[in-house]
Structure 1
């Protein structure tokens, strides 16, 4: 049985996973997004996200790359802070913690999936993550799936879109005002 089938069976047996996130978003999108984190599938990545969230590192971080019919990317705790950050470099940074090795699974990148951003090196995920607007099969097995939106997808859908091929957000980006770990 693949990871996706195991996860589906786990979700059916107990609807709520042990760990999740509550993300407050402000800007063109305003509201709360709830995410279940898949610690059985990507324990090292879930640990990284929860550690950074508990330290408040994600609070005030912009959605710096948002591509219509693809995904919204955020989590650059080094350069992505709207106040006190260096937004000109948003998307190029991470955290002071070491990179996390890949934890690929057979879970498909579909609407609402939270995945870890990385460079060309599969073992380079650090703090950045993205939320899928739609199914994108070319990412399957190439990026680590970390969780799934369980409530507030309409807020994700309203996040300000970027421009050009890279989806860089111009002007005032939408921001994660607070990211809280929930049980």
Structure 2
């Protein structure tokens, strides 16, 4: 009976935040992003345990609608897709101050989200990337702040290029707790 109630609770949560039952069991709506791409929705589990300041920044910008309509300006096959620059050039960011690095031992694997930065470790602002494949050379060099838990096939469909010609965009990004 307890298992049935647990399963039903997961189904209700899934209906409320738009996740499948499997995803609902492992996500916290306040630390889950819903990233709508042209081909479907990507569910991202944020990792405040690894990078609390970066997670707070991503949620703040997401709640302001900052990422809606922003292009994937740098997409390298077998490596990653980068977005978060309102200019689309790879040189821009938000009007908020840069963040201090929050490097951790968490490895960069397929589906990991990391913060983009310049040469300075403390220069992350709004740009982030999603890994297409493992990238151990990035470990402890860039801040890990999340991971794709559903919809990686939609990330795989993002148009490649550096720079990308007619790039794909983030249709909409929301914190799952705010989704309606």
CA distance in 2, matches of 1:158, 1:178: 16
Residue pairs, 1:34-183, within 5 angstroms: 34-77=43-86, 79-80=87-88, 90-162=89-161, 167-170=162-165, 172-183=166-177
Q: What residue number does 1:15 align with?
A: 26
What secondary structure does 2:109 align onto?
A: coil
C-alpha displacement at 1:40, in angstroms?
1.1
Give the Cα separation in 2 of the matches to 1:152 and 1:15.
Answer: 15
Give the TM-score of the pair, scaled to structure 2: 0.82
Q: Which has the higher helix share?
A: 2
Q: Distance in 1 between matches of 2:163 and 2:136?
A: 22
Moved over 4 A (4+): none
What's the C-alpha RMSD, in Å, of the aligned pairs? 1.1
Unmatched tracts of structure 1, length 5 or more = 1-13, 81-89
Once the two structures are superposed, residues 139-162 of structure 1 have per-residue CA deviations (whole angstroms, 9 ceiling, x without a partner) of 000000010000000000010000
Q: Secondary structure of 1:33's match? A: strand
* Secondary structure, counterpart of 2:171 in structure 1: strand
Aligned residues: 152
Rg larger for: 2
Q: Provide the rounded CA distance (Å) in 2 between the counterparts of 1:67 and 1:15.
A: 30
Structure 2 CA distance, aligned partners of 1:118 and 1:54?
22
So what's the TM-score if we normalise by structure 1? 0.81
| Distance in 2 of aligned mates of 1:61 and 1:55 | 13
